[in-house]
């Protein structure tokens, strides 16, 4: 029990990640408006929602236009299905030019916003507020639906990748830190076992780094529009992997065991420092498509809400433990191999 409790914990955390991370629904959200501009004459528009309750809500659906603090009521929308409402309205007679936010409100889903959804060509000045008639207060049992994951435009369901992409990097960094510690230990002790531990940690960290880059690439295609963008963090992580691959090649190209170990340890210390710069420092200095970069720390209150946190933190711990577990298996294999080498050479 003493030796494997953390392995049980790892499995439990990953089961939690898979079940909660894939099962918890997204909050309702607006995803599509059938037109991109609203003319001054009456026009029919249809709005598409996701996980919404347009038809089954008891209040009916109000539709608004919003720009800053100004609100203009488009009227009551006709629910065609749970996820579609139709409207027949015109642009506000007095309105500011520009992109307006479309809002749909009902008693189950609350206020659903789609930012910059419609272009309105108006007179240039907003008239007085024209609010929609007040709805009955929010149905408290239906409010349960808002315990799901946030429904962000563009991200949509892919917000779940947070539990399968980000922790890969945390696992990789943990393993690289282990390698860093063993490299320093090797330089102090000269023990070949410390060198073995460092090299195994680098090997396994490359597995997780590769998984991170592959999952990131797939996620980027669905949200940023390309398999690879020249984002600072992407190039930084690619450089990190290249650097650590060079470590593997460096180790493989020196025949003398003690010389190899010392050389690899020194290289690894520099590589770890550069890794920190490439993926932790540089992306925070310049702009990056990744959230929490360009000056703001990650884990910020704007990037994560509590529903995400309840899955994300266990997921991080689970994946890091899995990284340590795979490292452990590989190290035990490496030690047995080294023992066999020793016996054979005797």
Residues that bind another protein (CB under 8 A): 18, 22, 26, 31, 50, 155-158, 160-161, 164-165, 168, 207, 210-211, 214-215, 218-219, 221-223, 225-230, 234-235, 238, 241-242, 245-246, 248-249, 252-253, 326, 329-330, 333, 336-337, 340
What SS3 state is found at 55? Answer: coil
Helices (H), 110-255: 166-189, 192-223, 232-252
Let me know: does 66 contact 103? Beta carbons within 8 Å.
Answer: yes
Cβ proximity to another protein: between 207 and 282 the closer is 207
Q: Using alpha carbons only, what angle is made at residue 293 by residues 289 and 295, rounded to the nearest 5 degrees?
A: 135
DSSP secondary structure, 143-174, as one string: GGGGGSB---TTTGGGGGGGGTTHHHHHHHHH
Cβ proximity to another protein: between 11 and 31 the closer is 31
CB of 77 to another protein, least distance (A): 21
CB of 155 to another protein, least distance (A): 8
Give the integer Cα–Cα distance in Å for 205 and 174: 8
Cβ proximity to another protein: between 84 and 160 the closer is 160
Task: Name the DSSP letter for residue 249.
Answer: H
CB of 140 to another protein, least distance (A): 26
CB of 204 to another protein, least distance (A): 8
CB of 279 to another protein, least distance (A): 15
Sheet holding 29-33, edge to edge: 29-33, 43-50, 84-89, 70-81, 61-67, 98-106, 110-120, 37-38
219 forms beta bridges with none
Cβ proximity to another protein: between 127 and 334 the closer is 334
Cβ proximity to another protein: between 255 and 295 the closer is 255
Let me know: does 149 contact 26? Beta carbons within 8 Å.
Answer: yes
Cβ proximity to another protein: between 142 and 207 the closer is 207
CB of 336 to another protein, least distance (A): 6
Encode 312-346: b = buried (16+ Cβ within 10 Å), e = exposed. Answer: bebbbbbbbbbbbbbbeebbeebeeeeeeeeeeee
CB of 288 to another protein, least distance (A): 14
- Find all residues with CB under 8 Å of 316, minimum gap 6, and list them: 166, 167, 170
Give the integer Cα–Cα distance in Å for 113 and 71: 13
Cβ proximity to another protein: between 59 and 223 the closer is 223
């Amino acid at each position: 029990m003493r030796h494997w409790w953390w392995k049980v914990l790892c499995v439990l955390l990953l089961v939690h990640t898979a079940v909660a991370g894939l099962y918890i629904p997204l909050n309702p959200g607006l995803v599509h408006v059938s037109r991109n501009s609203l003319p001054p004459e009456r026009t029919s528009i249809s709005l598409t929602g996701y996980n919404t309750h347009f038809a089954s809500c008891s209040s009916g659906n109000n539709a608004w236009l919003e720009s800053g603090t100004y609100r203009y009521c488009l009227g009551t929308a006709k629910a065609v299905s749970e996820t579609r409402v139709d409207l027949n309205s015109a642009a506000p007679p007095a309105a500011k030019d520009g992109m307006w936010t479309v809002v749909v409100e009902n008693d189950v889903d609350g206020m659903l916003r789609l930012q910059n959804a419609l272009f309105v060509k108006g007179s240039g000045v907003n008239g007085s507020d024209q609010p929609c008639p007040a709805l009955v207060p929010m149905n408290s049992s239906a409010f349960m639906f808002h315990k799901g994951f946030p429904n962000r435009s563009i991200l949509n369901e892919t917000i779940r990748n947070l539990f399968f992409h980000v922790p890969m990097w945390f696992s990789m960094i943990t393993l690289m830190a282990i390698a860093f510690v063993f490299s320093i230990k090797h330089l102090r002790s000269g023990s070949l076992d410390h060198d073995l531990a460092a090299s195994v940690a680098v090997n396994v960290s490359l597995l997780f780094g590769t998984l991170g880059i592959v999952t990131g690439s797939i996620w980027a295609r669905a949200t940023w529009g390309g398999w690879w963008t020249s984002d600072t963090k992407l190039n930084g992580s690619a450089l990190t992997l290249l650097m650590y691959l060079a470590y593997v090649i460096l180790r493989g190209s020196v025949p003398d065991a003690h010389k190899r170990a010392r050389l690899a340890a020194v290289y690894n210390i520099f590589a770890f420092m550069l890794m920190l710069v490439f993926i932790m420092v540089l992306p925070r200095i310049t702009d990056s498509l990744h959230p929490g970069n360009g000056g703001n720390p990650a884990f910020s209150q704007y990037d994560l809400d509590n529903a995400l946190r309840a899955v994300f933190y266990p997921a991080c711990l689970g994946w890091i433990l899995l990284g340590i577990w795979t490292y452990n298996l590989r190290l035990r294999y490496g030690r047995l191999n080294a023992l066999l080498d020793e016996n054979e050479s005797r």
